[in-house]
């Protein structure tokens, strides 16, 4: 029991640190500084946007409990959703309610992690693509002027995969101790999503 409490405390402290670091970026979509040209801008956009970071973390953790086929394709589908959303935005089509879609992706993915929901692949796969499509639309719309689009795409694709696989690693460690730790993480994500809806 003491080990469980210690792990829960570590998760809480880590998430608290994240919230403090990004407390100035709590709105659904803050601006991002250009760092390192196109690739650097693409790489840092998901990493320094709290909404992106938390949504992708939730997808990574949630994927652990899915069927092998779904679990295997989730990272690729997430990257494809991001790329598709950005390219469509560059083509001049921005869906209404992008910010709402982003916030809902955080809220709903948090709920799925909390409940340890196992979705059918035919439902879970398109859901991930749809959620990340909204994030990709924001990436495309907010690409700074004068940088290389392909480098920007490469940057945020790398960041997306990095976040998802890191979240899987963390989630696997928590699950190996006690699945309630994953549910606690999901509850914190859900709370963050609810907070974003009020921002």
Rg (CA), the chain: 16
Average pLDDT over residues 27-49: 68
The rounded distance, in Å, linking the Cα atoms of 196 and 157 is 24
CA separation for the pair 155, 38 (Å, rounded): 7
CA–CA separation, 191 and 193 (whole Å): 5
Residue 175 CA to residue 27 CA, distance in Å, equals 30
| pLDDT tens column, 100-137 | 999 999 999 999 999 999 999 999 999 999 999 999 99
DSSP alpha helix (H) spans, the chain: 2-21, 37-47, 50-63, 68-90, 98-114, 121-141, 149-177, 179-198
pLDDT at position 95: 87
Q: What is the pLDDT of residues 5-31, one digit of tens each?
A: 455 445 444 444 443 334 333 334 444
């Amino acid at each position: 029991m003491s080990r469980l409490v210690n792990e829960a405390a570590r998760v809480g402290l880590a998430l608290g640190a994240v919230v403090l670091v990004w407390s100035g970026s709590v709105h659904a979509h803050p601006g991002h500084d250009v760092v390192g040209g196109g690739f650097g801008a693409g790489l840092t956009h998901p990493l320094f946007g709290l909404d992106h970071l938390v949504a992708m973390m939730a997808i990574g953790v949630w994927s652990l409990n899915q069927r092998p086929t779904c679990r295997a394709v989730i990272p690729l589908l997430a990257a494809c959703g991001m790329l598709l959303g950005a390219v469509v935005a560059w083509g001049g089509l921005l869906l209404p309610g992008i910010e709402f879609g982003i916030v809902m992706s955080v809220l709903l993915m948090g709920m799925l992690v909390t409940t340890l929901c196992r979705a059918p692949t035919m439902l879970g796969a398109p859901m991930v693509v749809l959620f990340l499509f909204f994030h990709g639309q924001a990436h495309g719309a907010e690409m700074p002027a004068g940088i290389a689009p392909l480098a920007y795409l490469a940057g945020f694709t790398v960041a997306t995969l990095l976040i998802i696989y890191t979240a899987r690693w963390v989630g696997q460690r928590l699950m190996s101790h006690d699945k309630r730790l994953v549910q606690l993480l999901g509850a914190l994500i859900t709370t963050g999503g609810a907070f974003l809806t009020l921002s």
